Structure 1
Amino acid sequence: MAYFLYNVLLHIAAALLLPYFLIKMATASKYREGIPERFGFVDKRKLRALRKGKVVWVHAVSVGETKAVLPVLRILKRRRPDVKILFSTVTATGNRTAAQEGRGLIDALIYFPLDLPWSIRKVASAAKPSLFVVVEKEIWPNAFRTMRSLGAPVAIVNGTISDKSARGYARFGFLFRDVFSKVNAFLARTDDDMEKAISIGVPAAAAELTGNLKFDLSPSLMDRHFVANLKEAIGVRPGSTLIAAGSTHPGEEEIVLSSYKALSAEFSGLKLIIAPRHPERFNDVEALLRKSGVAYARRSKGGSADVVLLDSIGELMTVYSLSDIAIVGGSLVPGIGGHNLLEPAYFGKPVIYGSHLTTYMGMAELLEKNGGGVRVSGQKELTDALKGFLSDEVLKKRTGALARGVVEENRGASERTANALEKLLRR
């Protein structure tokens, strides 16, 4: 009865939202990508590479989740060459990241079908997965139910459940207790995540603490010519100091820009790169820069200026490696919850972020406890934090080294996760 009600509401919601998405499809290309696949119509030629092997279907919603799970898949395929990876994402940027960074690792790449029973079953019946893996918070009732009915174990890796989500799952326990009871392995980031998972229906025997995959960050080897070209393109030269503001959202660019303008008169050679989280905002951010009166350049159009808009995909990690100080967006304004603080930490950079953290609060607290991160509230605190690092080279280097230390001391989740997935494949 619970699934019947869920599916009725899901189909009604799909019908009501159809006009909205038709408008979006007409105005934004990202909404047009993968439309047939989202309804379960996958080109058979894509799935040919899955033949003659055990298929593991891995689902990651977007960029961060994709990057987090790729090291696990490398380990798994090294140990089990017979495994074929079907990889799905929801977002276009996640799909592009999987295509670029999963080359030679992912055997078939698709967009995840809507959680309609017929669309999920259509793809699952064609792919015949031996294991279904979702990353972090992707809880889809029909997908879980279908996989179990087809005999494929369900695993949640890098599992995390916020307090808000736990309350929501408990409120609709008539559905979600059954959904979570179908999970064969909940591989949790933290003890707290594991306890919450058990409280909402995951079998205690299926819950295991494996740690946070994002500490096992391992960027692709950077081509030195590419790095040198990017360095030249964004104007990094001897004597300059680069602040990288990554994954920014509306309202954050104004805060960062105000701090930069306040400091640029005092610190010569100061440069700023702003990398908006979503590509569709590139033009909006350019309009903001133009209005602010600062001299700027767009990465895609060449030229050089003290402020650069990084309107490209896949270059933020390299920019972090070239930066002196990093600001991680999604945290300076409410409603987003933050983004991965470990990307700049991996390169030994001081990490600054805002106070509006939810998903990444544990990561922030760990950085702060070890002296590798600084949390700020508002533009004045951001300016003060930046000024502190710009005025004290020793502090800047020490904070960056401590941030890198946090990454190194917490590695190993990928290996533990791969071990757990191997056990499920042997069933």
Structure 2
Amino acid sequence: MLLLYRLLFPVALLAALPFYLPRMLRRGGYARHFGQRLGRVPVLPPQPAGVRRVWIHAVSVGELQALGPLLELLREEHPAIQIVMTTTTSTGYALAERKYEPYLTYLGYFPVDFWPISRRTWSRLQPDLCLLMEGEIWPEHLHQARLRGVPTVLINARLSERSFRRWHALPRPLREPFAMLSRIVTASEEDGRRFARLGITEDRIVTSGNLKLDMTPAPILVSAELEQLRTDLGLGLEAGGDRADCEDPARPLVLAGASTWPGEEEMLLRVACKLTDHGLPCKLLLIPRHAERRAELRGLLIKEAVAAHFRSSGLAEGPVNVAVADTTGEMVVLLQAADVVFVGKSMAPHQGGQNPIEAAALGKPVLFGPNMQNFRAVVDSMLAAKAGQVVRDETEVFDTVAMLLRDQTARRDMGRAARNWHRAGKGATRRTVDAITRFLEPNR
């Protein structure tokens, strides 16, 4: 399988360039440290006696934020370890640099999974343990670990039903990457069952729960700060209105679209306009999953003649109907300005869904479409706790948001249930550290 992968990988990479290169140019930031992706990393000195070096790889901003409590606990219980961290996206790198760099021996971009590049990176970083977040299964990377006798652990591991079907359809020899993992620490019991059905022995599977549930949202804004945030976004009172705190009925209510994808912004805009037409003044906060779509969204709002403000342009000059948060790393702060949150990538034709946990942790009423396959266990437990609600189409979005905006008690009850659900789900960090501790023993 590995020989076939090595032969086909360069071909697949070249074939994918026309798709990925424009995306990289739109997002920007990829030129910086680009050589690291090609194995141009510094040679790290050998570890002192008794020191273990851990290579942690995560991709998205959400994954990197979820690592915060894990890093703190690892450093507390294993103070002699060195942490090497890699990521894939420029936004992920920026967050890791801002949040974790003082604690890291090395921060860089994950190398292209091609034999000479991966081998060079491994020989220079020389880790003793490798942790991969969620679904980062890279055959060459895992092979290089096996050659060196370095254990590899997939943490917060998730396997959607769609991904499971794809892997299960492959002949067993092509599932070799899973066999190279020393342990799989899954985000849910259902994920664990799927890995087991792929042939992973039960002694290598541990269920920890979702690491993202252990993230404590911060900073939490006080009333004056929250009012200032709404003003900065253009979501405060109309000119001449009285100042209002978050419970004042005079304050315009805010519907937020969190990590939205194309088509969902148009839907939410129609919903917000319809709510206003029905006597429920509603402002819209759009937080697109990809900030580089700002030009596309600007065109949409100009076409619809909607007063809008883009956060990347600075402070709003006055009240607007729609605020677009075309920035990164601010989700927790921005969602505090919302009264109801719709989670993106959950409406057809999109599938998978984005992370609903941050909104729930903030005590917001959380709505999501029917296509939340990547967070199925999370969504099922939220629904059971009445901490979230499925809205299957635009009509249900309008009806549910209208009900919540009219009924302050319903909003409070749903938000309280969401916050309680989040608190009850904590503990994954502790269980994950317990699952990997034996790999950190100096005499391994």
TM-score > 0.5 by shorter chain: yes
1:8 paired with 2:7, answer yes
Q: Which amino acid aligns with 2:55?
A: W
Residues 301-330 of structure 1, C-alpha deviations (whole Å, 9 max, x = no match): 222313111112222211112321111111
Displacement of 1:374 after TM fit? 1.2
Of 127-136 and 328-337, deviating more is: 328-337
Q: Which amino acid aligns with 1:346?
A: A
**Aligned-partner SS, 1:360:** helix
Q: CA separation of 1:167/1:300 partners in 2, compared to 1, >3 Å: closer, same or farther?
A: closer
1:422 paired with 2:441, answer no
1:317/1:343 contact within 8 Å kept: yes
Provide the residue aligned with 2:269 in structure 1: 257
- Pairing 1:13-412 to 2, within 5 Å after superposition: 13-18=12-17, 29-44=28-43, 47=44, 53-222=51-220, 229-234=228-233, 235-236=235-236, 238=244, 239-267=251-279, 270-301=282-313, 302-303=315-316, 304=318, 305-412=320-427
Separation in 2, partners of 1:210, 1:24? 34
**Aligned-partner SS, 1:271:** strand
Q: Identical aligned pairs, as a percentage?
A: 29
Displacement of 1:34 after TM fit? 3.9
Q: Which amino acid aligns with 2:418?
A: A
1:160/1:188 contact within 8 Å kept: yes
Separation in 1, partners of 2:221, 2:148? 44
**Aligned-partner SS, 2:284:** strand
Q: CA separation of 1:22/1:416 partners in 2, compared to 1, >3 Å: closer, same or farther?
A: closer
Separation in 2, partners of 1:227, 1:40? 45
Q: CA separation of 1:329/1:151 partners in 2, compared to 1, >3 Å: closer, same or farther?
A: same
Q: Which amino acid aligns with 2:299?
A: A
Separation in 1, partners of 2:351, 2:40? 32
**Aligned-partner SS, 2:111:** coil
Separation in 2, partners of 1:24, 1:264? 36
Q: CA separation of 1:293/1:382 partners in 2, compared to 1, >3 Å: closer, same or farther?
A: same
Displacement of 1:361 after TM fit? 2.1
Residues 369-393 of structure 1, C-alpha deviations (whole Å, 9 max, x = no match): 1111111122111011100101111
Q: CA separation of 1:274/1:39 partners in 2, compared to 1, >3 Å: closer, same or farther?
A: same
Displacement of 1:105 after TM fit? 3.4
**Aligned-partner SS, 1:327:** strand
In structure 2, stretches of 5+ residues that fail to align are: 237-242, 245-250
Q: CA separation of 1:104/1:269 partners in 2, compared to 1, >3 Å: closer, same or farther?
A: farther
Of 267-276 and 204-213, deviating more is: 267-276
Q: Which amino acid aligns with 2:312?
A: S
Displacement of 1:257 after TM fit? 0.4
Q: Which amino acid aligns with 2:389?
A: V
1:241/1:270 contact within 8 Å kept: yes
Separation in 1, partners of 2:68, 2:221? 20
**Aligned-partner SS, 2:373:** coil
Of 160-169 and 384-393, deviating more is: 160-169
1:188/1:210 contact within 8 Å kept: yes
Separation in 2, partners of 1:166, 1:268? 44
Residues 183-224 of structure 1, C-alpha deviations (whole Å, 9 max, x = no match): 111111222211221232323211111111121122344576
Q: CA separation of 1:391/1:357 partners in 2, compared to 1, >3 Å: closer, same or farther?
A: same
Separation in 2, partners of 1:243, 1:195? 37
Residues 60-86 of structure 1, C-alpha deviations (whole Å, 9 max, x = no match): 121122122221111111111111111
- Could you state the TM-score of these two structures normalised by the residue count of structure 1? 0.92
Residues 154-194 of structure 1, C-alpha deviations (whole Å, 9 max, x = no match): 10111111222223223334444432222111111222211
Q: CA separation of 1:98/1:294 partners in 2, compared to 1, >3 Å: closer, same or farther?
A: same
Q: CA separation of 1:197/1:396 partners in 2, compared to 1, >3 Å: closer, same or farther?
A: same
Displacement of 1:26 after TM fit? 5.8
1:25/1:32 contact within 8 Å kept: no
Q: Which amino acid aligns with 1:13?
A: A
Residues 333-368 of structure 1, C-alpha deviations (whole Å, 9 max, x = no match): 333310111111001110011112211122222111
* Higher normalized contact order (CA 8 Å, seq sep 6+, divided by chain length): 2
Displacement of 1:19 after TM fit? 5.6
2:84/2:107 contact within 8 Å kept: yes
Separation in 1, partners of 2:128, 2:254? 47
Q: CA separation of 1:58/1:406 partners in 2, compared to 1, >3 Å: closer, same or farther?
A: same
Displacement of 1:14 after TM fit? 2.3
Separation in 1, partners of 2:430, 2:404? 36
In structure 1, stretches of 5+ residues that fail to align are: none
Separation in 1, partners of 2:125, 2:37? 15
**Aligned-partner SS, 2:374:** coil
Separation in 2, partners of 1:71, 1:184? 23
Residues 83-110 of structure 1, C-alpha deviations (whole Å, 9 max, x = no match): 1111111112222222233243333221
Q: Which amino acid aligns with 1:274?
A: L
Of 291-300 and 93-102, deviating more is: 93-102
Q: CA separation of 1:394/1:36 partners in 2, compared to 1, >3 Å: closer, same or farther?
A: same
- Could you state the TM-score of these two structures normalised by the residue count of structure 2? 0.89
Displacement of 1:31 after TM fit? 4.5
The alignment covers a number of residue pairs equal to 424
